[in-house]
């Protein structure tokens, strides 16, 4: 049984000789994942084997640093890498490797599909990433474009018990953004009637209101608002989760009916 070399360039064909003197050829389309934005992304390449006898197609680990036959890497700006995988089946459970039993094999004329997948949760610098997969006699390119993307989550801010004296408390917002991408996090005015980003209000029993403020610094002097370039908080993504502290304060001297007071603040990330 002979190994066929696999090519990704459109209409690129090659021949391999079988023992009986029969020629085999393979044509395959490009494996282009398109644009990745940190969610799981699938891609495929299709091809056709023309052969009178048995054949098999092995894929090596590629050219990415630290790559293996089960975890390959495309390389992008500044040597940054993004992991991906190649499979022989549509459910993407059978790895396509370079050793006996992990390569694709068959007999005669056959249409084939290469099933690729980029796992979710990779926040690498923006740009174009490529890899070269080699077979016995040739190679093909795998490529993807990375777009800027961010995720955001927040913890509750609890002030505790208010007795007319100034009280403060903190909460955190977690931001994960593509490495080197810029972002701004804004906090809106909340839900209470008449609230603004400088004087927010919690609502209590019988629609009673209790004013409070949100700041971006520990000195409680820089208001945290919702306008990019003015009072939103700017940052640069690292590819890992970044924690931003929200500093809350309830001013002294407010007369409020006994009970629980709440508000909902929407945090918006712009990138």
Spell out the per-residue pLDDT of the chain, length 271, in tens.
333 333 332 323 333 333 334 578 777 788 999 999 999 999 999 888 889 999 888 899 999 999 999 999 999 999 999 999 999 999 999 999 998 889 999 999 999 999 999 999 999 999 999 999 987 666 789 999 999 999 999 999 999 999 999 999 999 999 999 999 999 999 999 999 999 999 999 999 999 999 999 999 999 999 999 999 999 999 999 999 999 999 999 999 999 899 999 999 999 999 9
The confidence score (pLDDT) of residue 215 equals 98
- In this structure, what CATH number is given to the domain that contains residue 250? 2.60.40.1090
Final residue of a domain: which of 146, 180, 199? Answer: 146
Chain center to CA of 6:
30
Give the domain range for residue 172. Answer: 150-270
Nearest-angstrom CA–CA distance, 85 and 182: 29
The confidence score (pLDDT) of residue 28 equals 77
257 and 124 share one domain: no
The confidence score (pLDDT) of residue 5 equals 34
Domain count along the chain: 2
pTM here is: 0.79
In the sheet that holds 72-75, the strands lie side by side as 16-17, 23-28, 41-50, 110-118, 81-87, 72-75, 127-134, 139-146, 31-36
- Please enumerate in sequence order all residues whose Cβ is within 8 A of that of 124, keeping only pairs 6 or more positions apart, or say none: 76, 80, 81, 82, 146, 178, 179, 239
116 and 206 share one domain: no
138 and 203 share one domain: no
The confidence score (pLDDT) of residue 158 equals 98
Count of C-beta atoms within a 10 Å radius of residue 257: 12
33 and 142 share one domain: yes
First-to-final CA distance of the chain: 53
Return phi, psi of residue 124, to 5°.
-105, 165
57 and 168 share one domain: no
- Please enumerate in sequence order all residues whose Cβ is within 8 A of that of 25, keeping only pairs 6 or more positions apart, or say none: 13, 14, 15, 16, 49, 50, 51
Token pair in block for residue 46: 């299709």
134 and 224 share one domain: no
At 77 the three-state DSSP class reads helix
Cβ proximity of 67 and 32 under 8 Å: no
The confidence score (pLDDT) of residue 222 equals 98
Token pair in block for residue 53: 């006898």
Which helix (H) or strand (E) segment holds residue 17: the answer is: strand 16-17
21 and 140 share one domain: yes
The confidence score (pLDDT) of residue 137 equals 62
């Amino acid at each position: 049984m002979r190994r066929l070399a696999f090519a990704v360039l459109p209409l690129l064909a090659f021949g391999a000789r079988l023992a009986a003197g029969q020629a085999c050829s393979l044509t395959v389309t490009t494996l282009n994942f398109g644009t990745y934005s940190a969610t799981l992304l699938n891609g495929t390449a299709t091809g056709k084997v023309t052969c009178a006898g048995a054949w098999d197609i092995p894929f090596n680990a590629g050219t990415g640093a630290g790559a293996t036959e089960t975890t390959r890497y495309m390389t992008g700006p500044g040597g940054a890498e993004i992991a991906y995988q190649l499979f022989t089946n549509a459910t993407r459970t059978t790895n396509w490797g370079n050793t006996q039993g992990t390569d694709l094999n068959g007999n005669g004329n056959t249409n084939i599909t290469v099933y690729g997948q980029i796992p979710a949760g990779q926040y690498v610098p923006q740009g174009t990433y490529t890899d070269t997969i080699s077979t016995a006699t040739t190679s093909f390119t795998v490529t993807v474009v990375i777009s800027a993307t961010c995720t955001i989550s927040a913890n509750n801010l609890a002030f505790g018990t208010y007795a007319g004296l100034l009280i403060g408390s903190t909460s955190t917002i977690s931001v994960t953004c593509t490495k080197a991408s810029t972002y701004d996090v804004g906090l809106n005015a909340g839900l209470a009637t008449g609230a603004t980003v400088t004087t927010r209000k919690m609502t209590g029993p019988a629609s009673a209101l209790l004013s409070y403020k949100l700041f971006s610094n520990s000195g409680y002097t820089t208001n945290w608002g919702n306008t990019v370039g003015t009072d939103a908080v700017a940052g640069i993504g690292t590819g890992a989760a970044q924690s931003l502290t929200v500093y809350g304060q309830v001013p002294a001297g407010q007369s409020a009916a006994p009970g629980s007071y709440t508000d909902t603040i929407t945090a918006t990330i712009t990138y």
